[in-house]
Structure 1
Amino acid sequence: MSELPPDLPRLRTLEHWLVLSLERVRQRIAEVETREAALRPVRQLPEGPGWVLSFLREGGRPVADSVHIGDCRLAARHRKPLSRDEARRALTDGGIRACEICRPDSELGILD
């Protein structure tokens, strides 16, 4: 049924070998993860405001519409710069939607 050795000394030797092998595999995984993370592109936030609140006009009055990353070209002409915390609050507590193109919610670490 089992192809493992029947005696304790050989089982201990096998256990020791497996522990050493597992340590080598985990070390290699860490090296590969580090290398892949270094190759992954990182989006640089723009100079100026990191996030903006875009307003639309309804009945001649500005109405908050959506949060964008500062350099998003889809933000309306009427906008207000936001800090990181203000952008997070607008998306989570303020009921303001995130732009579906620039995805400020992803940049801010907000999960659906």
Structure 2
Amino acid sequence: MVMLIQRTIQEKRMSEPRCPPRDVVDVLLNDSNDQLTDGLISDNMIDLMIPAEDSVPVLLTLAAKYLSDCPLALQQLEEENMHLKKSKSLRGETLQWTDYLSLSFTQDVSPTVKTDDIDVQ
């Protein structure tokens, strides 16, 4: 798994930078402080893929940090979630955990990270 992540990091480093970032690796590679080594990025990716009790605070911190660094992604995340909340409220329904499955962008930026493209409009 580590080798696959490191190969992905190397391929992304060699490609042109994407704006806005298309996945978590892009976000980590575009860190403005340039303090994240490939090893740290790899460690973060593994932490995101393997949920554990100790990693939840780290994941929440990373999510808050990187979403605050990308206002466009944060805005789209908020709009998608508020649209669901409003539509459920208008129908007199309450939010359910299964509603999460209908939030495609939210799923793309959640701790269960996909490697699919994130469509930021």
* TM norm. shorter chain > 0.5: no
Higher strand share: 1
User: Under a length normalisation based on structure 1, what TM-score does the superposition of the two structures give?
Assistant: 0.25
Higher helix share: 2
Point out the structure with max Rg over C-alpha: 1
With a CA cutoff of 8 Å and minimum separation of 6, indicate the structure with the bigger relative contact order.
Answer: 2
